[in-house]
Amino acid sequence: MAKKIAFIVLGFLVGIAFDMVPHAVEVVAKSNVCRESCSNSLKIVSVVIYAILPIAWAGLLGIVIGKPRAQRILFISALFSLLIMAVLTWFLYKQQHP
């Protein structure tokens, strides 16, 4: 049980790491994405994505660890998470720099 809780916490931290993608793009590209200047709908979508990713990764690691195809599932989930965050970052950037 303690091992499963540890993986859930680890999954939560992995989700938070994916949430840092827009900030990493800002630092590397020396650019900025919209924060307060975004439209309300984009703010709501970004908050929902920022909230769902850590929770989804916590649940995913809690469920998948120990399964036969865990590595493949985690790899595909990581690619999907990166895609979601890349699209969100692009929308945040385009909103700031029309």
Taking only the tens place, the pLDDT of each residue in 63-98 is 888 888 888 999 999 999 999 999 988 888 888 777
0.85 exceeded by the pTM? no
Taking only the tens place, the pLDDT of each residue in 34-58 is 777 788 888 899 889 989 999 999 9
Torsion of CA 81, 87, 23, 38, to 10 degrees: -130
What is the per-residue burial (b if ≥16 Cβ within 10 Å, else e) of 69-87?
A: eeeeebeebeeebeeebee
The residues near 80 (Cβ < 8 Å, ≥ 6 apart) are none
Which two tokens mark 69? 């195809």
